[in-house]
Chain A
Amino acid sequence: MSSDYLVIPRIKVHNANALSSPFTVGFPAMTAWLGAVHALQRKLNQQSITAEFSAVGVVSHAFDLQTYQGAGDFVHSIIGTANPLDKNGNRPAFIEEARCHLTVSLVIEISAMTGEQQNQLIEGVQHLLNARMKIAGGDILQFQTPFIANDFTQFRNQLMPGYAIVERRDLMVEAMEQGEDALDALIGYLQVENHCQPAEVDDQNPPDEKAKVIWSRQRKENAKGWLVPIATGFHAISPLGQAKNQRDTDAPHRFAESLVTLGEFKMPYQLEQASDLLWYYETDLTNNVYLCQQAPEADGF
């Protein structure tokens, strides 16, 4: 079955959650994007617009993390928001929440539709994005008119300039096969090392104090490209069951922790086909893993 792609260009999201896992701050988690699109589908289905959104690609055009770095500071600090006073007029404790403003385009894989269905879908999507939806906890301020295309090369240029987030779990797999600890491997690909070596001594022009060594910065050899840690799903740490005060009493509940792996921001012109961009849900109940990943046939556990 051939598929079409629903493209929602330049969605401007305001104050989205940038705390994507317990130890990373940055681009919202993949679960946020797939979750938002899944919510969109369910709301469309309620309005008897039959659509199935099977995969999602995310292209970031602008990303503004709300942090502050003063002159000479090494670390950034989170720009907070003040909460309203409590019943006694006292200020409650500050809870650090990382926020970001961002502009993204979403590419959503849909099964082939007739022209009439397509118009209905586009109208429905526009209305829902305006009236009912949030993305990654942020408000949707505006977006350009969505359209449907079936050939990736047709709309690839409209995703430019921008950066598609693609999965680089292969790097993690490679490093862990060599016996590296997962967190070490993750940090190993992200860290920048500064090396120094003695400069060649030239007898005619003796070097001054500063020029005696040459500094060079480098990253791990195969860590080319713009690598970032991304949260891609959840690993269950308890059996399925009922929890007290769970949100949805009809669905079983289980406690989980975030899965973090490597991703890479890539310009869309570097991608050959839509599948290079798209993310799918993958549930592996034998390993208790709920995952967003690219290329569903890949197995890396």
Chain B
Amino acid sequence: MAKKENIASVLAFEKKLVPSDGYMYGTCWDVRAEQTTPLKLQEKSVRGTISNRQKPAVQKDPAKLNAEVEKANLQTVDACSLAPEQDTLKLHFTLKVLGGICQPSACNNAAFKQSYAKAARTYIEKEAFGELARRYALNLANARYLWRNRVGAEKIEVVVNALNGEKKQWKFDATEFTTRHFDADDNQVNDLAAHMAKALASDDDFLMLDICCYAKVGKAQEVYPSEELVLDKGKGSKSKVLYSVENMAAMHSQKLGNALRTIDTWYPEFTDVEQSAGPIAIEPFGAVTNLGRAFRTPKEKQDFYSLFDNWARGEQLSRTEDEHYVMAVLVRGGVFGESDK
């Protein structure tokens, strides 16, 4: 274990991929670049059915079951859909890629800071963020950040513009890129990745990207903005509250960020056909919320802290993939202080 004078109890990193909220517009595929209208949330009240599991006593007694099922299950929810004449969803957001990963934003131990910075510099010299940037770029190209809106879309086009430095534009047909693996080798993606890698590896430079994603989902189809986390909804009966900014349906920046950093194919179960969850988001414990599982547990010494603590103090990691993973967690950012007890 590390010596006591080498422990940073205050240690934090800012995120290096900074997405804005994603704003949702409706349009038609043929005029997608010219005409768009902001999508609004609609409140719906529906009469639902009682379809949850009932107690055995109720299940077995038809009269009781009838009485239960006859109840009106009234629900008020937010919803969002394209206008009747529109067939395409436009999702617009910006993404800032920052450098300066060698400097923690807060660190209270000079010795640790030095050994960490050395390890980070060695990584940058060796890898220059090539692999991570390639994966981030692929996630931009494959439109993973559409989440549920991506499912069943007929055509998806992604237009990425660099807003600073060399003005460049990249166009992708997202359906050509799978979200299952990162084996694709595409010139456009590689070029975008090179720009992102340059910013990530820099000391204090940045890259500002503007992303417009068009998904042809069908006329008047429902689209899916982020749902708000309201723990105490008060007296109101609304059971689902969706996110909107200035009256425009939107996706949380956190949700876009999670999709962009869904690049972890290095966790132990990935190759296991039964257990694998595909690429998962970069998280210190490899947590996947909708499975309620952590794929990198301290027991297997595959979590971020087990790897980072030794690596940042100058030890080599056995696999390059582990180094990619550790750096990707730092790009994600967070508070990683260690108890000094």
Chain A contacts to B: CB under 8 angstroms: 14-15, 64, 68-75, 77-82, 84-91, 94, 96, 101, 127-128, 130-132, 134, 139, 141-142, 245-249
Contacts and interface: CB of A to CB of B under 8 A. Distances in A.
Given A81-B229, A131-B100, A75 B18 contact: no
Interface string B231-253: 11111111001000110000001
A73 B230 CA distance: 13
A84 B284 contact: yes
A74 B236 CA distance: 10
The 4 A-B residue pairs with the shortest CB-CB distance, nearest first, are A70-B236, A85-B287, A73-B234, A131-B206
A235 B100 CA distance: 34
Interface stretch (B134-142, B182-190, B265-273, B289-297): B289-297
A84 B283 contact: yes
A81 B287 CA distance: 16
Given A79-B228, A84-B285, A87-B297, 5 more contacts: A14-B20, A89-B287, A89-B292, A89-B293, A249-B110
Contact of A81 (B18, B241, B254): B254
A77 B287 contact: no
B58 interface: no
Contacts of A15: 253
B236 A72 contact: yes
B100 A82 contact: no
B229 A69 contact: no
Contacts of A74: 234
Interface residues of B, number: 49
Contact of B231 (A80, A90, A132, A134): A80
Given A85-B289, A130-B164, A139-B18, A77 B253 contact: no
Contacts of A72: 234-236
B298 interface: yes
A130 B208 contact: yes
Contacts of A249: 108, 110
Contacts of A127: 204
Given A77-B230, A84-B287, A131 B99 contact: yes
6 contacts: A85-B285, A85-B289, A89-B291, A96-B231, A141-B94, A142-B94
B30 interface: no
Nearest to B15: A139
Nearest to A90: B292
Given A70-B238, A77-B234, A85-B289, A131 B98 contact: yes
A77 B230 CA distance: 7
Given A139-B18, A245-B108, A73 B236 contact: yes
Interface in B140-187: 164
Contact of B287 (A86, A245, A247, A248): A86
Contacts of B232: 77
A73 B235 contact: yes
Contacts of B237: 70
Nearest to B98: A131
B9 interface: yes
Contacts of A86: 285, 287, 294
Nearest to A128: B204
Contact of B245 (A79, A101, A131): A101
A168 B235 CA distance: 36
Nearest to A126: B164
Contact of A245 (B96, B230, B289, B340): B340
B287 A70 contact: no
Contacts of B100: 131-132
B85 interface: no
B205 interface: yes
A258 B238 CA distance: 37
B106 interface: yes
Interface in B87-122: 94, 96, 98-100, 106, 108, 110
B46 interface: no
A298 to B, nearest CB: 34
Interface in B181-236: 204-206, 208, 228-236
A113 to B, nearest CB: 23
A77 B99 CA distance: 36
B21 interface: yes
Interface in B1-21: 9-10, 14, 18, 20-21
Contacts of A245: 9-10, 108, 340
A70 B108 contact: no
B294 A247 contact: no
Interface in B275-292: 283-285, 287-289, 291-292
A263 to B, nearest CB: 25
Given A88-B294, A131-B98, A77 B289 contact: no
A84 B236 contact: no
A245 B287 CA distance: 29
A34 to B, nearest CB: 19
